[in-house]
Structure 1
Amino acid sequence: MTMHTLRPVAFDHPDAVKLNDEVQLEYAERYGDDGDATWLDPGMFAPPRGLYLLAYDERDRPVASGGWRSQDANEEAYADGDAELKRMFVIREARGHGLARRILAALEEDARAAGRTRMVLETGTKQPEAMNLYASSGYTPCAKFGLYRFDELSRCYAKPLHPAPAPAGPQPAGATA
């Protein structure tokens, strides 16, 4: 089985740019347009207000990407505490190895640790495998938000990012349950 490592990188890192170009071509192929027109600045993914991850294969080739960026209530219908998932992508040759699910879990954990309360994402009806991934990962349909909120092909999903439970341990002297 191929081993993949996840690494945080800047959104404008050459490997991230390469994968972003590939996902844009796939969007254009699926939707018959120029790809996702959402404006993204590399600073949007800088910790602690975001994170961008790449997965590398055993030959150190970038094969998957994903990131989150902080959002708060605004004119595009985001809510305070949102973490927006962006640019989840796995190259064709690396699909079927659970990379998207690994990246998704790592991004959720990081957003939760950064104090975000809900992970949101927008995908489209011509990406059924993405819709299946999110549904099987606990995401449910939500009110539309973002650039494509008025597009009939757009689908928006959300998942609460509940705080991690406190570790169970010995109770301080005199504590009662």
Structure 2
Amino acid sequence: MTQLLPAAAGGWTIAAVSYDSAAARGLTQALQREQFATYGRADAPEATAAAEFESPHGVFLVAARADETALACGGWRTAGPATAEVKRMYVAPTARGQGHGRRLLEALEQDAWRHDMTQVILETGVSNHAALALYTHCGYTLVEPYVPGRDPRINRALSKALSQPLMARQQNDGPM
């Protein structure tokens, strides 16, 4: 994996990978199994073309330990004019509670911003309390469903306006 961001606390990195890489497939299949166990249905990861996560229209990131054991994943793809959709956010159960999801979401938002996206949309399940808490904490708000046919008893759609990431503001304006 090619490292995208500096090593985080705990000796892990975030890197851009192909959506059809072994690390991405392993994590997205684990996500699908969890969603199926929770909701009785889940979108198949293979139904999404790898090209949807290729620059400049998206990216797929994997967080991994120094030994390249994949811990978490997520991607963004273009959903409309200046709108990125976050997809396939997942943190392996053994890696939860260590900040991987938050750091991954921040990296996705920064990359989307660099590609002129000004809004992010995403969906998560109503029973995924940890994800809902993360997204709310990171500034996402509930919006009307944007995918036709989604069951509001299962899915929650959220949105966030992107502003210039703090790191970029500090580089442009000096320390805050």
TM-score, normalised via structure 2 length = 0.85
Q: What secondary structure sits across from 1:101 in the alignment? A: helix
Shift of 1:84: 0.2
Structure 2 portions without partners, runs of 5+: 1-8
Give 1:24-173 correspondences, 5 Å limit: 24-33=32-41, 35-37=42-44, 39-72=47-80, 80-146=81-147, 149-163=150-164, 165=169, 167-168=172-173
Across the aligned residues of Structure 1 and Structure 2, the Cα RMSD in angstroms comes to 1.8
Give 1:16-27 correspondences, 5 Å limit: 16-27=24-35
Percent identical among aligned pairs is: 34
Greater displacement, 142-151 / 23-32: 142-151
1:95 maps to amino acid: R
Inter-CA distance 147–64: structure 2 relative to 1 (3 Å threshold):
farther
Return the alpha-carbon distance in structure 1 between the equivalents of residues 172 and 39 of structure 2.
46
Q: What secondary structure sits across from 1:167 in the alignment? A: helix
1:22 maps to amino acid: A
1:2 and 1:58 in contact (8 A); partners too: no
From the CA coordinates, give the structure whose radius of gyration is larger: 1
Structure 1 portions without partners, runs of 5+: 73-79, 170-177
Runs of 4+, deviation exceeding 6 Å: none
2:43 maps to amino acid: D
Paired residues, what number?
A: 161
2:16 and 2:60 in contact (8 A); partners too: yes
Structure with greater proportional helix content: 2
Q: What secondary structure sits across from 2:104 in the alignment? A: helix
TM-score, normalised via structure 1 length = 0.84
2:32 and 2:44 in contact (8 A); partners too: no
Shift of 1:117: 1.2
What CA deviation, in whole Å up to 9, does each residue of 1:51-99 have, x standing for no partner? 1000111322011001000011xxxxxxx32100001001000111100
Shift of 1:163: 3.7
2:172 maps to amino acid: P
Query: Which structure carries more relative contact order (alpha carbon 8 Å, separation 6+)?
Result: 1
2:144 maps to amino acid: A
1:8 and 1:54 in contact (8 A); partners too: yes
Return the alpha-carbon distance in structure 2 between the equivalents of residues 17 and 28 of structure 1.
16
2:58 and 2:77 in contact (8 A); partners too: yes
Q: What secondary structure sits across from 1:67 in the alignment? A: strand
Shift of 1:124: 1.2
